Amino acid sequence: MSINNAQLRWVKSLAKKSARVESGRFFAEGSQSLKVLAQKQYWLETIYLTEEFINVNKSLISQFNPDLIEEVTDEQIQRMADANTPQGAMAICKLPTKEPSVSGNPLVMLEQVSDPGNLGTIIRTADASGAGTILIGQGSADVFSPKVVRSSAGSIFNVDLMQDLDMESAVDQVKSFGYQVFAADSSGIDFRKGEFSTKHAWLLGNEAHGLGVELLARSDKTFSLPLAGEAESLNLSVAAGILLYHSGFSQQG
């Protein structure tokens, strides 16, 4: 089947949140997402691939239902893509229709994380560290935007996500489920002195402004990451990785 100009424009439009919400679709670019999607094809509606990608990745492509695949030219996929180098592969995916339950340990709670690259990297790190549900507050980047999906390196399809939450209400709800909420903030005590054997959630704030006073007051404890050098602060996704792995290892003994 040959893709027409109207379809090209529609796929391109999915870079905008309004089009994703209206259609219930988003796209994922590149081979890493396809490797994950090969095991989770219920996400998929269509896969657009160039001839070169098909020839180089025959083993990967053989795992998909052939009815999902449409071959396109390099020029067509470039017109659809958000990335400068889309790697010859784009998957049209269905937005989740059911909100997941809160589960796992630790949880990840993110307030106004507006940088898509940071958000995607945190999702990838949470997946790699075995964290539970990721709860994302209002004012954050959309988790299904192209840059977040790319930065997650396929992990967007592996984790349970909730977004556009009122974070104060979310903190109260998480605590009612028996979780302690640990805020990450420079005003806290050294995280290495913490006890993380119980169910808990890490609460992290905006890259520039951190957490607000109300959220810090709602948290059970506040921890900081000490800086040994002269840097003013750590990148948010790096800080999240340190905290998630440290508390994860603490639970393993």
Q: Which two tokens stand for residue 79?
A: 């017109």
Q: Enumerate domains of the chain plus CATH numbers.
A: 5-94 (3.30.1330.30), 107-252 (3.40.1280.10)
* Predicted local distance difference test score (pLDDT) of residue 253: 53
CA distances from 31 to 34, 37, 61, 76, 239 (A): 5, 10, 10, 17, 28
DSSP per-residue letters across 34-48 = HHHHTT-GGGEEEEE
The string of pLDDT tens digits covering residues 140-162 is: 999 999 999 999 999 999 999 99
- The neighbouring-strand residues paired with 181 are 201
Q: What is the mean pLDDT of residues 71-94?
A: 93
Q: Which of 33-42, 79-88, 108-117, 129-138 has the lowest mean pLDDT?
A: 79-88
**Residue 29 identity (one-letter amino acid):** E
Rounded to two decimals, the pTM is 0.94
Contacts 24+ apart (CB under 8 A), 74-78: 74/50, 76/3, 76/8, 76/48, 77/48, 77/50
The string of pLDDT tens digits covering residues 166-197 is: 999 999 999 999 999 999 999 999 999 999 99
